């Protein structure tokens, strides 16, 4: 499979067309951003670690019946995916209160959320990814009500699967963000699931093992992503 031309370059990944019109190469770069792109740095090996981390999680979800855009790994830092019509929406589930939720509503950090809390955000860096609801989505035509319901249901179904998956590795899945798109009329999980888009805390010590290490300058960012991968049984290649 050959890269033909670059169609997008986001803050952390680039997408390329291929000789198959409905398939794209997703390249995971070392670039790392936080605070809607205000903090940026390249972290050695992040592209390789996140590409292989994402492949492992996407394949695990597929084994549990979740349909995703992931087709196969192409190299240590590239994957083949289906080309989707993306929704400009971010779906967030929270099992514990932290981050922007605590600031917005004055909630105690670490509070257990049972049932898990679901939120939609608009994918728009210039606006700071604002919180939205079903009515905004319908009124502004960002998705139909049926598609919004499907995204929420899938995000919560994935939560049930991933909470247990991370628990096996002695990790708490605190919160995460997913993106979805349509392929031939079907709703598929897209983008990525890596420690860049979720929060993971060690179950015993509550040590942060995700992108908060970068946001808060805690150090050993990629080493810690690698440790999470190892705990989950991944064999990440860095050559």
How far apart are alpha carbons 180 and 44 in whole angstroms? 28
> Which segment (12-20, 50-58, 201-209, 229-237) binds ligand ATP by CB under 6 A?
12-20
Phi, psi values for residue 16, rounded to 5°: -125, 145
Tokens of 178: 């997913």
> Which segment (13-21, 71-79, 93-101, 219-227) binds ligand TYD by CB under 6 A?
93-101
Q: How far apart, in Å, are the Cα atoms of 125 and each of 50, 89, 97, 129?
A: 22, 12, 23, 6
- Residues 15, 43, 161, 169: which binds ligand ATP (CB under 6 A)? 15
Phi, psi values for residue 169, rounded to 5°: -100, 20
Q: How far is the CB of 12 from ligand ATP (least distance, A)?
A: 4
Helices marked H in 29-82: 46-63
Q: How far is the CB of 210 from ligand ATP (least distance, A)?
A: 14
Burial class (CB in 10 A: 0-12, 13-18, 19+), 103: exposed
Is residue 187 close enough to count as binding ligand ATP by CB under 6 A? no
Tokens of 139: 């009124």
How far apart are alpha carbons 139 and 143 in whole angstroms? 9
11 binds, among ligand ATP, ligand TYD, none (CB under 5 to 8 A by kind): ligand ATP
198 binds, among ligand TYD, ligand ATP, none (CB under 5 to 8 A by kind): ligand TYD
Q: How far is the CB of 238 from ligand ATP (least distance, A)?
A: 21
Is residue 84 close enough to count as binding ligand ATP by CB under 6 A? yes
Q: Which residues bind ligand ATP (CB under 6 A)?
A: 8, 10-13, 15, 24, 69, 81-84, 86, 179, 181, 190-191
């Amino acid at each position: 499979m050959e890269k033909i031309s670059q169609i997008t370059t986001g803050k952390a990944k680039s997408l390329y067309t291929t000789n198959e019109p409905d398939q794209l190469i997703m390249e995971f770069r070392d670039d790392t951003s936080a605070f809607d792109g205000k903090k940026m740095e390249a972290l050695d090996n992040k592209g390789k670690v996140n590409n292989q981390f994402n492949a492992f999680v996407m394949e695990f979800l597929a084994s549990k019946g979740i349909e995703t855009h992931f087709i196969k790994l192409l190299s240590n830092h590239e994957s083949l995916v289906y080309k989707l019509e993306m929704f400009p929406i971010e779906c967030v589930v929270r099992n514990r209160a932290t981050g922007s939720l605590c600031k917005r509503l004055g909630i105690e950090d670490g509070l257990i959320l049972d049932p898990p809390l679901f939120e939609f955000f608009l994918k728009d860096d210039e606006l700071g990814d604002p919180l939205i609801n079903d009515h905004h989505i319908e009124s502004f035509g960002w998705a139909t009500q049926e598609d919004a319901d499907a995204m929420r249901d899938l995000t919560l179904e994935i939560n049930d699967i991933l909470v247990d998956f991370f628990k096996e590795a002695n990790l708490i899945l605190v919160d995460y963000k997913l993106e979805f798109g349509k392929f031939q009329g079907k709703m598929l999980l897209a983008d990525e699931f890596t420690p860049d888009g979720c929060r993971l805390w060690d179950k015993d010590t509550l040590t942060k093992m995700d992108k908060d290490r970068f946001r808060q300058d805690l150090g050993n960012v990629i080493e810690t992503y690698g440790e999470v991968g190892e705990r989950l049984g991944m064999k990440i290649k860095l050559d």
